[in-house]
Chains A and B, each alone.
Chain A
Amino acid sequence: MKVRKIVFRILALAILIGIAAVMFVIGRGHTIYFDNKTLEAEDGTVYKPYYKIDVLVNGEKVAKLGEEDRGMVSTMGQKFSMELHITPKKDSKKVGSAVKLEIPYNMDGIILNLPALLNGAAEDVYMDEFIPAVVEETGDEEEVPAGDEFEMPMGDA
């Protein structure tokens, strides 16, 4: 009886930890930035922007990029797929293209250079980590109120 109880508890604990682990994998959120910008790779290749790119994720249009534009979308998980509708020149026809990517786990924000990506550049060329600009803040600006008392419960419940 006792042994069964302990086994049962360990099992429950293991299941919880298992679920947590799965959540870590499938729930990792990323912000993906799409650049339709000129990019000069280290080997000297220059990727020119397209006239217009529409980015669709899950059938929803998330960005409409002109030349030198940037768009963004939040995603969940490491597998990312999008559909691009590209208009290369002003009067040319739209060309569709589906892209599937693996996103590195440890990057919060990822910049994808679409011209480089579409022209078959290597991953380290078209992909870059987005590092948010550090905003200088003065330390005392955000004073945190501490109190054991009831604050006026005026907020929304």
Chain B
Amino acid sequence: MKKKKFDFRAALRRSSVPLMFIIICAICIPLSGLSANMLANEIVTRMGRNAFLILSLLIPIMAGMGLNFGMTLGAMAGQIGLILASDWQIVGVPGMVLAMILSIPISVLLGLFCGKILNMAKGREMITSYIMSFFINGVYQLVVLYMMGSVIPIKHTSIKLPRGYGIRNTVSLLNMRQKLDNLIPFSVKLPFFGEIRIPLMTFIIIALMCLVIVWFRRTKLGQDMRAVGQDMEVARDAGINVERTRIVAIVISTVLAGFGMIIYLQNMGNIATYSSHSQIGMFCIAALLVGGASVDKASIGNVFLGVILFHLMFIVAPRAGAAITGDSMIGEYFRVFVSYAVITVALVMYETNKRRAKSAEGKKLAEAQKGEG
């Protein structure tokens, strides 16, 4: 292999999104007037809260299926698990474990369905998984709003709507709140940042998950997935069951998203039954992209850089906006705008790169043919 020349422009293009965010944060942090201690604490909390969810996005990217907007499906499964566990009054970490186990069959079922549909819509997986999340949201509402309490027994009136069936807008997870984060109380004192509380157990789980992903890449299945992601036809010729591999990728992602949602919600301390999941997909995808990932390439490093940069922006933007314009709403809208804009830019860059690669390939082919002729 020839040594590649370091292409400065390509590198700059690749890291343009994180760079842009570093600049935004650098401007907004002083304007927000938040202390280093508070920012550090917030970032550490949000890292524990979100990292697992974002990790669930990596595997479908590996399999060439793009950003899995269908991770919302897993989030819904996780919420159903939590609602049931809290109705049965299983609390603390055991309650979380139970909710995770309950979420597995639901996630697997939804993942299978989603994977099957995505196999029928090759080439437009992202928009399909995106619409899928809306579609399943309808089913989720049917289950949670009408079947829980009437078909699925729900005992506690603190969870059930007064009309006798359906789940309330918010379900309190007070007896599960931050039980995992605080399982091993731990905090560090840093010279500049002061005392930072660290949700050690959550971090350990996230670290384990990272190891699992690294290991998974080397297994037969992981290799297959990468092959499918590179080129479906080549993979098929090599004897890989492409359809099955893609479905497995989505199932794994959905199950992990369910676990991630449970970790996320134990930190929040309550479930917004009808909205928690709908926003989570967008935030996680935006964060991953901010970390420098693209639609076809994402690493664990992207996850952590993304959480830090994206959430830093998220914390400081409203206050910075208020400081500049005197209206806190502007900052709120600004951060929403930035989240969407980042996804848009990343999608556009992915598509233009794909086209560029394609035309370069075509040129090469044409030249080769010329040489032969």
| In contact, B161 and A144 (Cβ under 8 angstroms) | yes
| In contact, A152 and B336 (Cβ under 8 angstroms) | yes
| In contact, B275 and A155 (Cβ under 8 angstroms) | yes
CB distance from B5 to the nearest CB of A (A): 40
Please name all residues of chain B whose beta carbon is closer than 8 Å to the beta carbon of A156 when the two chains form the complex.
268
Please name all residues of chain A whose beta carbon is closer than 8 Å to the beta carbon of B311 when the two chains form the complex.
157
Q: Is A102 in contact with chain B by the CB < 8 A criterion?
A: no
Q: Which of A19, A28, A132 contacts B97 (CB 8 A)?
A: A19
In the complex, the number of residue pairs spanning A and B with C-beta atoms less than 8 Å apart equals 95
Q: Is A153 in contact with chain B by the CB < 8 A criterion?
A: yes
CB distance from A135 to the nearest CB of B (A): 8
CB distance from A138 to the nearest CB of B (A): 7
CB distance from B340 to the nearest CB of A (A): 9
CB distance from B55 to the nearest CB of A (A): 16
| In contact, B279 and A155 (Cβ under 8 angstroms) | yes
Which residues of B in the span 278-337 have a Cβ within 8 Å of any Cβ on A?
A: 278-280, 282-283, 311, 314, 332, 336
| In contact, A144 and B169 (Cβ under 8 angstroms) | yes
CB distance from B372 to the nearest CB of A (A): 48
Q: Is A27 in contact with chain B by the CB < 8 A criterion?
A: yes
Given contacts A74-B91, A137-B162, A157-B314, A24 and B98 within 8 Å (CB-CB): yes
Please name all residues of chain B whose beta carbon is closer than 8 Å to the beta carbon of A157 when the two chains form the complex.
46, 50, 279-280, 283, 311, 314
Interface centre among A19, A24, A137, A153 (most CB of B within 10 A): A153
Cα distance A28–B93 when bound, in Å? Answer: 11
| In contact, A76 and B145 (Cβ under 8 angstroms) | no
Cα distance A157–B285 when bound, in Å? Answer: 12
Which residues of A in the span 75-117 have a Cβ within 8 Å of any Cβ on B?
A: 76, 108
Q: Is B137 in contact with chain A by the CB < 8 A criterion?
A: yes
Chain B interface size, as a band, is: 35 or more
Please name all residues of chain B whose beta carbon is closer than 8 Å to the beta carbon of A27 when the two chains form the complex.
90-95, 97-98
| In contact, B92 and A76 (Cβ under 8 angstroms) | yes
Given contacts A16-B101, A157-B311, A23 and B282 within 8 Å (CB-CB): no
Q: Is A154 in contact with chain B by the CB < 8 A criterion?
A: yes
Give 1 or 0 for each of B79-115: 1 = CB within 8 Å of chain A CB. Answer: 0000000001111111101100110100000000000
Cα distance A27–B86 when bound, in Å? Answer: 11
CB distance from B252 to the nearest CB of A (A): 15
Please name all residues of chain B whose beta carbon is closer than 8 Å to the beta carbon of A132 when the two chains form the complex.
157
Q: Is B365 in contact with chain A by the CB < 8 A criterion?
A: no
Secondary structure at the A interface, as helix, strand, loop or mixed, is loop
CB distance from A45 to the nearest CB of B (A): 33
Given contacts A23-B101, A142-B168, A153-B283, A29 and B90 within 8 Å (CB-CB): yes
Please name all residues of chain B whose beta carbon is closer than 8 Å to the beta carbon of A141 when the two chains form the complex.
162
Q: Is A151 in contact with chain B by the CB < 8 A criterion?
A: yes
Cα distance A142–B162 when bound, in Å? Answer: 8
Q: Is A122 in contact with chain B by the CB < 8 A criterion?
A: no
Q: Is B350 in contact with chain A by the CB < 8 A criterion?
A: no
Please name all residues of chain B whose beta carbon is closer than 8 Å to the beta carbon of A46 when the two chains form the complex.
none
Q: Is B339 in contact with chain A by the CB < 8 A criterion?
A: yes
Please name all residues of chain A whose beta carbon is closer than 8 Å to the beta carbon of B268 when the two chains form the complex.
156
Q: Is A134 in contact with chain B by the CB < 8 A criterion?
A: yes
Cα distance A76–B94 when bound, in Å? Answer: 9
| In contact, A145 and B314 (Cβ under 8 angstroms) | no
| In contact, A154 and B162 (Cβ under 8 angstroms) | no
Give 1 or 0 for each of A1-31: 1 = CB within 8 Å of chain B CB. Answer: 0000000000000001001101110111110
Cα distance A137–B162 when bound, in Å? Answer: 6
Which positions in B face A, CB cutoff 8 Å? 46, 50, 88-95, 97-98, 101-102, 104, 134, 137-138, 141, 145, 156-157, 161-163, 166, 168-169, 175, 268, 272-275, 278-280, 282-283, 311, 314, 332, 336, 339
The 8 nearest A-B residue pairs measured at CB: A27-B94, A29-B91, A137-B162, A27-B90, A23-B94, A23-B98, A153-B279, A157-B283
5 residue pairs A–B, Cβ–Cβ below 8 Å: A20-B101, A23-B97, A108-B156, A153-B282, A153-B339
